[in-house]
Amino acid sequence: MLSNYPVDFIGGGWDDFKAETRHARFLGAMPFETLRENLGTYLAAVSLNPNVELSVHDRVFFALGASTVPIFDADSFSRENFPRLSRFSFAQDADSIAAAVEAVLDDPAAAHAATSATLAETYPRLSMQRSVQEICEISTQMAGFAGASLMPSLPSPAGVWNPSKAAE
């Protein structure tokens, strides 16, 4: 279904789609840095990540940061945090995915405006820096140390990752 649109497929595993393509290009694997650097040159980026309810894939966040419209699986997290992007989210069926893609192609300016507004509303609350901070806080709580004593850019306090040795 996506191969009928002007899209680039990146990575492997798309051979089944090549026979039915009309407008798509298959670029193959590329380094993540290359993908991230070029993401902002696209109107939109589709992320297929089913069976997730508590967040969206990091591809959605990278697209937002690159001012590229994310097209993604709808879930409870996206409905709560990205309501402006609901037209560009989909259920797990071809018609729903096509409708999300067509919503972007029908009105690119509105899609970009919704993307910009969503980034402004969610940053820094949902930023990668905030996520790293939360991971460090959870990790230090699990290890029995105060979260404030471990910052992502600082070395771990002695014994955080192997508390049994710290007790000796």
* DSSP-assigned states of every residue in 99-168: HHHHHHHH-HHHHHHHHHHHHHHHTTTT-HHHHHHHHHHHHHHHHTS-GGG--TTSPPPTTSS-HHHHH-
* pLDDT of amino acid 24: 83
Residue ranges covered by each domain of the chain: 31-124, 129-167
Per-residue pLDDT of the chain (168 residues; tens, 9 = 90+): 677 788 888 888 877 777 677 788 888 899 989 988 999 999 999 988 888 888 888 889 999 999 999 999 999 999 999 999 999 999 988 899 999 999 999 999 999 999 999 999 998 888 878 888 888 888 777 776 554 555 555 555 555 555 454 444
pLDDT digit string (tens) for 57-89? 888 999 999 999 999 999 999 999 999 999 999
Q: Are 140 and 160 in contact (CB under 8 A)?
A: yes
Q: Residue 59: which residues within 8 A CB-CB, separation 6 or more? A: 45, 47, 49, 70, 72
Q: How far is CA 1 from CA 74, 97, 118, 138, in A?
A: 18, 8, 27, 41
* pLDDT of amino acid 156: 54
* pLDDT of amino acid 149: 53
pTM of this prediction?
Answer: 0.75
Q: Would you give the DSSP letter of residue 44?
A: E
Pairing of strands 69-73, 44-47: parallel
* pLDDT of amino acid 167: 47
d(CA 123, CA 119) in angstroms, rounded, equals 6
Report residue 69 as tokens: 């419209």
* pLDDT of amino acid 7: 86
